Amino acid sequence: MDAVVMAGGMGRRLGAEEKPLTELCGKPMISYVLSALLGSKNIDRIIVATSPRVKKTNQWLSEYVRVHKSVGVIQTKGEGFVNDMASAVEEAGIKGCVLITMADLPLITPQLLDRVIEKYGDVNKPALSVHMKLEVFTGLGIRPDTVFHKNGGFIVPCGINILDADRIREEQEDYNLILDDEILALNVNTQAELAVCERYLEKFMTAKN
């Protein structure tokens, strides 16, 4: 399966010049996402979709792809998330299914991505969307922008989807995969979320050492 990383945002709410390059424990945020995808046993090719607005991100990626041959970059027109995502999938020539993720999910792991992909193989739907229970966010002190009502509870989209690339410009019936992994709640849009993410990473690295 191929993957597309959406990385064309400026990060104004975060107070950053370019969100993908926001430093997190000394590394650009996008590098964590790319490392997780490179470590997944189910991901073949990785396409980073950027825009003309993120010039420094494009420069950083030009060096990154020289080392990581399975990673490519497509610069979209910056006309909005859905159109840019569909354009990147089409320009990359992706067929079959495609995993779409954001550049602001620095705590995702290869293992979590593989769980999502393997679940997609078990469901009889053209698309799958990953969600988190609202209480996981509130437990971390995070207030999400988007909340849906599902089966008597509230869920929050996490920014990871699998779609049928051959129907990328069509609305696709999706399976809602609801997980409770805290790392999925930590997509970074604000300084407060960045601080929570840094604490989580520092704790993980301390435990690892």
- pLDDT (0 to 100) of residue 182: 75
- pLDDT (0 to 100) of residue 76: 95
pTM: 0.90
Domains of the chain, start order? 2-208 (3.90.550.10)
Tokens of 16: 């950053």
Residue 15 pLDDT > 60: no
- pLDDT category at 207 given cuts 50, 70, 90 is low
**Tens digit of each residue's pLDDT (9 = 90 or more) over 133-150:** 888 877 777 777 788 887
**Nearest one of 205, 188, 138 to 18, comparing CA atoms:** 188
- pLDDT category at 181 given cuts 50, 70, 90 is confident
Which letter, b or e, does each residue of 107-143 get, where b requires 16 or more Cβ atoms within 10 Å of its Cβ?
A: bbebebbebbbeebeeeeebbbbbbbbbebbeeeebe
**pLDDT-wise least confident of 1-5, 96-100, 154-158, 172-176:** 154-158
**pLDDT-wise least confident of 40-44, 135-139, 173-177:** 135-139
Q: Taking a C-beta distance cutoff of 8 angstroms, is the pair 193, 142 a contact?
A: yes
**Nearest one of 95, 96, 61, 93 to 75, comparing CA atoms:** 61
